[in-house]
Structures are given as C-alpha cells and as structure tokens.
Amino acid sequence: MTFTEKPSVPEDRAAAGEHHEIRRHFEDQLHAIQVGIVDMGTMVRENIRRAGEVVTEGRLDLVDAVIEADRPINELYSDLEEQIFQLLALQQPVAGDLRFLVVATRAVYEVERSGDLAVNVAKSVQRVDGVPADAVLISTLEQLIDAAATMFSRGVEAVASMDESIGLMAEEEDEATDELTSELFKAVTARQEELGLETSVALFYIGRFLERIGDHGVNLAENVTFAVSGEFPNSDES
C-alpha cells in the first residue's frame, strides 16, 4: 500500500454508522407519527363517548365540551399532516415505509373526520332540544352508538398494533352498524308524525353520522392491512 492509499474499512464503517443513525432517526419519526395518530384517535374516542351521552342521556350541558374537545384534535391533525408530508418530500421513502406514510395521510383524515362527526351528533341533538324519551329510539341509538364506537376503537387499535388481521374482520363486523342504522330509520319513520319533521330529520342525520364513524373505523383497520401486507382486505374478490 502506498502513502496515497487510505484504508477503506474505517471509512466504510463510518459510512455504515452514519447510515444506521439516519435510518434510526427516520424510524423514530415514523413511530412518532404512529403514536400521534393513536393519541388523536383516543381523543376522538372520548369525544364520541361524550356525544353519546348527549344523545341517550339528554346531557345538553356536554355539547360545548364536545365542541371544545375537537379543537386540539384539529390542531394535532394539522401537525401530523405536516410531519407526514415533510417525510414524504425529504426522505423519499420506498416499499413498506412509503405504504405506511401513504396510509398515515389517510388515517389522520379518518380520525379527524370522526371527530367532526361526533360534534355533528351533539349539535344535532342540541338543535331539537334533546332526543324524545321513546324507549325504542333510545335503545336503538344506544346500540348504534356502542357499535360505531367499537368499530372506531378497533381502527385505532389496528394503528396502535399494526395488526393486519383487524382489517380482515372489520368489513364483516361493520354490517351490524349498518343494520342498526336501518333499524333507527325504520323506527323514526314509524313515529314521524308524533316526532315532527325537525326531530325526525335530526334523528336521521344522527344515525348517518354514527354510521359514518363506524365506517371510518373500518377504513382505519383496512388501511393498516394495506400498510402491512400491501393489499387491501378482499382485494382478490371480483
């Protein structure tokens, strides 16, 4: 070896170490986004619970709390969205990392939109000064709220665990939410004359809002399946 030659091994090790450090920092950023989505989902889940109390217990005093609780959710949404787009632009991820970030852009939307729907539910009840004390209506609404909240929680759980199996079950379980929404609509229609037009319309909207919350939960879970496996559930079906 001449004096002009330099040993390559130390340089190779230094480059490998630098690459490892960059990779570790990138993985930390991905994990922070995942945690942020779960935190956001937990906040929304709590607000769905509050909105449910407004509906079934007549807790009109909670409407302002539901509205206020949505503000930090929106702020976290904006922050996470910015983080995701920065990583997409600066890191130029590929394969699984790219799938995760694409899914993350969808996930933050699904969660944020669910938060908006919880607010819509509370406001709809407020506009008609509470849901009438009808046993069938209240019972159906309680079941629908529980089903929608459960589906949304499953979606958040899927993001937290990155468990693709949750997405495989989600669509089938979502049928219960759809059936309860249909039952609510039938019950409202049968009582439309005594309920009046304004209350009937409000109940239709509440049912649709709750159904959509469940749908967003399904979307969350199915997007996780795509992030992990590269395929959406039932993508092989014609």
pTM metric for this prediction: 0.87
For position 2, what pLDDT does the model report?
A: 37
pLDDT in tens, 115-133: 999 999 999 999 999 999 8
C-alpha dist (Å) from residue 51 to 7, 61, 126, 228: 67, 11, 11, 33
CB atoms closer than 10 angstroms to residue 138? 16
- Give the C-alpha separation, 57 to 38, whole Å: 28
| 136/3 Cα distance (integer angstroms) | 91
Task: Choose among 113, 35, 121: nearest CA to 74.
Answer: 113
Q: Which residues contact 83 (CB under 8 A, 6 or more apart)?
A: 29, 32, 33, 36
Question: What is the gyration radius of the CA atoms in the chain, in angstroms?
Answer: 23
Q: Is the pLDDT of residue 238 over 50?
A: no
- Note the CATH number of domain 11-229: 1.20.58.220
Phi then psi for residue 59, to 5 deg, are: -80, 70
Lowest mean pLDDT among 109-123, 166-180, 210-224: 166-180
What is the model's pLDDT at position 213?
97
What rounded mean pLDDT belongs to the chain?
A: 88
What pLDDT does 180 receive?
A: 95
Q: Which one is predicted more confidently, 106 or 4? A: 106
How confident is the model over 142-168, as a mean pLDDT? 92
Whether the CB-CB separation of 187 and 66 falls below 8 Å is answered with: no
